[in-house]
Amino acid sequence: MSVGLNASILRAPRTGIGHYLAELVAALSVSGELQVNLFTGFGWQSELPAAPLPGYSRWAGLAKRWVPNAYRVRRWIEQKRFEDGLRRQPVDLYHEPSLWPFEFDGPMVMTLHDLTHVHYPYTQPADRLVEIERHAARGVERAQRILVDSQFIGDEVCRYYGVPAERVVVAPLGCAARFHPRTAEQLAPRLQALDLRPGGYLLCVGTLEPRKNLQLALRAYERLPAALRQQYPLVIAGMPGWRPEQLAAPLRRALAGGQVRLLGYQDDTSLAELLAGARLLLFPSLYEGFGLPVLEAMASGTPVILSGSSALPEVAGEAGFYIDPQDDRACAEAIRLLIEDQAHWQRLREAGVLRAQEFSWERCAAITASVYKQAVGC
């Protein structure tokens, strides 16, 4: 079976969906049963792009600012390229891993990772939100099968779009091999360059946007005794998101104190080492369709303090330290406990490593391949 996959998101630095796509394609290729063709936005190819397109984020930002109806113009151009390639090399099935499926006259599978555009529309530019709503609804209507990362999102898709449950399939995400426990000696070169010590900092990971609830993390951190903040800086790793001005004032105050550090986007290797070296991951997100950093932290031997909401309990299970994402006092108490109570920290560390072993990209790929066969047979 030949499958066409929209891989245009890999032009940008990889975040959640980009990692999903890259790991899924690699796992699907192992069996040799599928021929996967990737649409990059410019054309079709069989190999994953080795790196993001240089300067893509900057040029994309300029286009959005200066080109009228930039999203629609780009989409029209890409649709033509998409169709031209398929005329030369047809595929049996089209898989759209995001919210913007192309027009395709054949069986289609769509992955819906979350419904952020429904619950948090203010996290998207207005013109982009219009296009998301239009393309997503049309894609859900056309798709023979809809893949979701969690049962939580599956239930949301059924309720919001009125999709029959038999069309929705849960394919939990996996964890790349680079996420694993590491010794202090293994971590020393990377962390020393950042003036950090193994086990001596707290970590937040995620795009800097309101949904990730960084404000709560900052307020909770400010509640810690000065001596603990001096010993355990709060390190934030993530790309700027939409409407960063909502975080500007709290971040400026936190950064001015010198105990909160903003690292920006981290490549795969750097992030894996940062996760393995942290005392804990603080992940108070208000809404997640899965929460990949939670799984990656657990696999790295790092306990996680996280919200007990949306899909996060499906990922962390009993290995997570759950908090109310609105309660900064309880969050501060949880941080302090995992710093000061070594036995409790060790129990969560061991439970997290075991929990992470229940997830794999091989399993995700096997479920996905099965869904492909179902969709073609519809």
Residue 51 lies in a domain: yes
Tokens standing for residue 359: 């997830």
Do 151 and 284 sit in the same domain of this protein? no
283 with 192, same domain? yes
Domain total of the chain: 2
Half-sphere exposure of 308 (CA within 13 A, CB side): 10
Same domain, 264 and 284: yes
The CA distances from residue 119 to 13, 246, 312, in Å, are: 25, 17, 16
**Does residue 274 share a domain with residue 152?**
no
Read off φ and ψ for residue 330, nearest 5 degrees: -65, -35
Q: At what angle do helices 126-142 and 70-88 cross, to 10 degrees?
A: 30
Judgement on whether residues 215 and 333 belong to the same structural domain of the protein: yes
CA angle 313, 352, 281 (to 5 degrees): 80
Shared-domain flag, residues 74 and 197: no
| Same domain as 348, residue 222 | yes
CA distance 189 to 128: 41
Q: For residues 27, 29, 33 and 36, what is the CA-based torsion angle, rounded to 10 degrees?
A: 110
Q: Residue 290 sits in which domain range? A: 184-356
Residue 248: CATH number of its domain = 3.40.50.2000
Same domain for 7 and 56?
yes
Model confidence, pTM: 0.91
CB 279 within 8 A of CB 201: yes
Polymer length in residues for the chain? 378
Q: For residues 349 and 319, state if they share a domain.
A: yes
Q: Is residue 295 part of a domain?
A: yes
11 with 153, same domain? yes
Provide CB contacts within 8 A for 74, sequence distance 6+: 63
**Cα distance between residue 76 and residue 92, in whole Å:** 23
Q: Does 273 fall in a domain?
A: yes
Say if residue 199 is in the same domain as residue 348: yes
Residues 205 and 304 in one domain: yes
pLDDT tens, residue order, the chain (378 aa): 999 999 999 888 788 899 999 999 999 999 788 999 999 999 999 998 877 766 556 656 555 665 667 778 888 999 999 999 999 999 999 999 998 899 999 999 999 999 988 988 876 777 778 888 888 999 999 999 999 999 999 999 999 999 999 999 999 999 999 999 999 999 999 999 999 999 999 999 987 777 888 989 999 999 999 999 999 999 999 877 655 555 556 667 767 677 899 898 888 999 999 999 999 999 999 999 999 999 999 999 999 999 999 999 999 999 999 999 999 999 999 999 999 999 999 999 999 999 999 999 999 999 999 999 999 986
Please state the φ and ψ torsions of residue 3, each to the nearest 5 degrees.
Answer: -120, 130
29, part of any domain: yes
In a domain, 179, yes or no: no
